[in-house]
């Protein structure tokens, strides 16, 4: 028997001989299994089928969820694209408004610069006017001072004339009227000097020539000489500026 078994093993291991089909043997053995084993196999197959059905249901649910998500993504993409288009239009509108506002601001800047230039020019003009007004005020003060000085000198001359009249005596009560052909001038350049001048006396404020210089008549009074009926013109020497302006 052992020899036959060895010869069988040798035959099975002979080169070119195929190995016995174990799967077929298992199927054959399964045909001769007891009924309990077949029921267990049936239950196992049923359980396996239920698992497959569950997995199939899960796969179907996953596919449905995937399709739902794809539709949601498509709708979301469409919404995003719509929002982007609207945002682009809104951005274009904002850019147009900004360009208009920038142009308006540029115009306002130019207008403001023009107004500032005009205000600066006006300020310079007002400054010149203020300087001129200050100069006129100083000149008015100078004129007032000179007028007060002339009034003082005129009072002194009037006092001097009264003193001369008192010293020379009173004039004749009845003097014949005659045409005035000469007058006396009282110069106040440096002290007092009386001169005889041919012709009628100048009007108050008139400009006359005396000793080669221009003078203004500031007052007409009686001659300081006793019994002299000629008028006396009080003259004040003009400065160079007054002579040029007059």
Rg (CA), the chain: 70
Q: In this predicted model, what pLDDT tens digit does every residue of 212-245 receive, in sequence order?
A: 888 889 889 888 888 888 899 998 888 766 655 5
Instruction: Tell me the mean pLDDT in the region 115-142.
Output: 90
Instruction: Tell me the mean pLDDT in the region 132-148.
Output: 89
Domain borders along the chain are 57-168, 180-246
Q: In this predicted model, what pLDDT tens digit does every residue of 48-57 receive, in sequence order?
A: 888 898 899 9
Q: In this predicted model, what pLDDT tens digit does every residue of 145-196 receive, in sequence order?
A: 888 888 888 788 878 877 776 665 544 444 444 566 888 888 887 778 888 8
pTM: 0.30
At 175 the pLDDT is 43
């Amino acid at each position: 028997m052992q020899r036959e078994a060895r010869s069988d093993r040798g035959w099975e291991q002979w080169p070119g001989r195929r190995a016995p089909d174990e799967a077929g043997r298992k199927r054959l053995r399964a045909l001769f299994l007891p009924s309990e084993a077949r029921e267990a196999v049936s239950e196992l197959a049923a359980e396996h089928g239920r698992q497959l059905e569950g997995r199939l249901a899960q796969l179907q649910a996953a596919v449905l969820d995937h399709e739902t998500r794809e539709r949601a993504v498509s709708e979301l993409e469409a919404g995003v694209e719509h929002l982007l288009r609207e945002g682009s239009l809104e951005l274009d509108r904002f850019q147009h408004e900004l360009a208009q506002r920038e142009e308006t601001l540029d115009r306002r800047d130019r207008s403001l610069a023009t107004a500032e230039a005009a205000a600066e020019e006006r300020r310079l003009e007002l400054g010149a006017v203020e300087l001129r007004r200050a100069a006129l005020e100083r000149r008015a003060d100078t004129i007032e001072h000179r007028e007060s000085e002339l009034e003082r000198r005129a009072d002194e001359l009037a006092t001097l004339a009264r003193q001369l009249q008192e010293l020379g005596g009173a004039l004749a009560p009845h003097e014949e009227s005659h045409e005035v052909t000469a007058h006396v001038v009282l110069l106040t350049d440096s002290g007092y000097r009386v001169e005889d001048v041919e012709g009628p006396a100048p009007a108050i404020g008139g400009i006359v020539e005396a000793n080669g210089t221009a003078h203004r008549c500031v007052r007409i009074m009686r001659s300081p000489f006793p019994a002299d009926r000629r008028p006396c013109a009080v003259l004040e020497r003009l400065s160079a500026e007054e002579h040029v302006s007059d």
